[in-house]
Amino acid sequence: DGGITQSPKYLFRKEGQNVTLSCEQNLNHDAMYWYRQDPGQGLRLIYYSQIVNDFQKGDIAEGYSVSREKKESFPLTVTSAQKNPTAFYLCASTIGSYNSPLHFGNGTRLTVT
């Protein structure tokens, strides 16, 4: 079955540490996205990538970094510069055209104490 795999499901870190969230897709989709979901705020776009070795900042990119070295992988690093990192992080992909619906992974819940 094709899909998006995010790991781990739960992640705990101490303040000041960088942490990397994994996202892998086997849908052969060109575009990949990272969203952050907070209660009452919906989904906010952190970064997106249309093709390999290219990515753009979304609405809330500060304190985050990404890489896109392979088509199927789009890891997100939450750095110590992110002021409120505790959240639910969702990875998504589309085939590449802007009217394509997003396919989502199951998410990673990050807790920073």
Partner 1 sequence: AQSVSQHNHHVILSEAASLELGCNYSYGGTVNLFWYVQYPGQHLQLLLKYFSGDPLVKGIKGFEAEFIKSKFSFNLRKPSVQWSDTAEYFCAVNAGGFKTIFGAGTRLFVKA
Residues that bind partner 1 (CB under 8 A): 31, 33, 35, 40-45, 48, 50, 56, 58, 90, 92, 94, 98-99, 101-102, 104-107
Q: What distance in Å separates the CA atoms of residue 24 and residue 47, rounded to the nearest whole number? A: 15
Q: From the CB of 78, what's the least distance to partner 1, in Å? A: 20
Residue pair 4/25 in contact by the 8 Å Cβ criterion: yes
Measured from the CB atom, is 58 or 63 closer to partner 1? 58
Token pair 């781990």: residue: 8
Measured from the CB atom, is 58 or 80 closer to partner 1? 58
Instruction: Tell how far CA 21 is from the center of its chain.
Output: 7
